[in-house]
């Protein structure tokens, strides 16, 4: 059950996309998201699909992984589709049965919304698939740095993220261990209705949380012992460095995405 969860799963490849600066990738994603919400015609989505396809090819990541990242959202996507189909009104009636009605506008909005979700998830998953968690947090920290002046704790946020990412496998492993231990004592995690299932998680979650707090305590001590005093005065071994191709990718993506967004 826990093995299915893929969060921030990074796949190491020697590809053009992997070699890009994480800040550039994050910026391109932001343009991409803006474009998604600007587009109002199906041709626009075609252009976006093409953009995704090019990125996937350049990243040497198998399409399988991207589909995998969409799978957990199937429910939300179908839900969005259905709600729009039956609730959004406008245009000609396409289909009718007793009180159920699908109108043109509903179909259009339903498809748009689901496509938006699919594109959004698949493109952001490309970011985490091609960028190591460390590069990702470094990139975020560097992009958020200017906002430190207005009180945004950029370094702390990035440090929190990277520690969270570091501890995900550790906590998953621990959860599995606790589950086994509780099963050995007769705990039942699988049967019963939803409420029973949720209740059965208590003996898993309580020890997990207690341990997590102890870990946090230990980790804070270990960090202090290694002279950690926040972002100030801290340097990096692998400092981020923008090169020509980063600027070119950024410029091209910007022009492509914004023109698709505006004209289609």
Least separation in angstroms between CB 132 and other proteins: 7
The two beta strands, 93-97 and 100-103, are: antiparallel
Binding mask 203-242 for other proteins (x = CB under 8 A): -----------xx--xx-xxxxxxxxx---xxxxxxx---
Residue 163 as a binder of other proteins (CB under 8 A): the answer is yes
Retrieve residue 127's tokens.
């970011």
Residue 192 as a binder of other proteins (CB under 8 A): the answer is no
Q: In terms of CB distance, is 107 or 134 closer to other proteins?
A: 134
Angle, vertex CA 121, rays to CA 120 and CA 125, nearest 5? 120
Q: In terms of CB distance, is 162 or 200 closer to other proteins?
A: 162
Of the listed pieces 61-69, 129-137, 140-148, 190-198, which binds other proteins according to CB under 8 A? 129-137
User: What single DSSP character describes residue 7?
Assistant: S
Least separation in angstroms between CB 8 and other proteins: 10
Alpha-helical runs (H) found in the chain: 16-19, 22-38, 42-59, 63-70, 74-87, 104-130, 133-144, 154-184, 194-200, 202-225, 244-263
Core vs surface per residue 201-234: b (16+ CB within 10 A) or e: eebbeebbeeeeeeeeeeeeeeeeeeeeeeeeee
Gap between the Cα atoms of 116 and 157, Å rounded? 28
Among 124, 132, 176, 200, binds other proteins (CB under 8 A): 132
- Using DSSP's 3-state secondary structure scheme, residue 126 falls into helix
Gap between the Cα atoms of 45 and 33, Å rounded? 12
Gap between the Cα atoms of 69 and 51, Å rounded? 18
Residue 195 as a binder of other proteins (CB under 8 A): the answer is no
Binding mask 61-100 for other proteins (x = CB under 8 A): ----------------------------------------
Least separation in angstroms between CB 218 and other proteins: 4
Of the listed pieces 27-35, 49-57, 83-91, 169-177, which binds other proteins according to CB under 8 A? 169-177
Among 34, 169, 181, 202, binds other proteins (CB under 8 A): 169
Count residues contacting other proteins (CB under 8 A)? 30
Retrieve residue 115's tokens.
């496509």
Contacting positions for other proteins (CB under 8 A): 132-134, 162-163, 165-166, 169-170, 173, 214-215, 218-219, 221-229, 233-239
């Amino acid at each position: 059950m826990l093995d299915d969860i893929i969060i921030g799963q990074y796949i190491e490849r020697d590809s053009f996309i992997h070699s890009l600066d994480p800040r550039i990738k994050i910026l391109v994603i932001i343009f991409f998201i803006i474009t998604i919400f600007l587009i109002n015609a199906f041709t626009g989505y075609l252009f976006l699909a093409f953009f995704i396809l090019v990125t996937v090819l350049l990243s040497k990541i198998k399409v399988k992984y991207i589909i995998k990242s969409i799978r957990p959202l199937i429910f939300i996507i179908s839900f969005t589709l259905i709600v729009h189909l039956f609730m959004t009104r406008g245009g000609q009636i396409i289909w009718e049965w007793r009180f159920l009605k699908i109108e043109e506008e509903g179909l259009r909005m339903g498809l748009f919304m689901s496509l938006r979700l699919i594109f959004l998830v698949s493109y952001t998953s490309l970011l985490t698939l091609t960028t190591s968690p460390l590069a990702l947090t470094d990139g975020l920290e560097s992009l958020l740095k200017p906002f430190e002046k207005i009180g945004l704790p950029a370094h702390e946020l990035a440090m929190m993220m990277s520690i969270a990412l570091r501890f995900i496998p550790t906590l998953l492993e621990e959860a599995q261990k606790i589950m086994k231990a509780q099963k050995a004592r007769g705990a039942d995690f699988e049967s019963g209705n939803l409420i029973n299932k949720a209740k059965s998680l208590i003996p898993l979650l309580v020890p997990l949380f207690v341990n997590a707090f102890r870990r946090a305590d230990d980790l804070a001590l270990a960090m202090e012992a290694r002279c950690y005093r926040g972002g100030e005065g801290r340097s990096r071994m692998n400092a981020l460095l923008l090169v020509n191709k980063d600027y070119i990718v950024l410029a091209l993506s910007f022009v492509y995405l914004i023109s698709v967004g505006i004209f289609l």
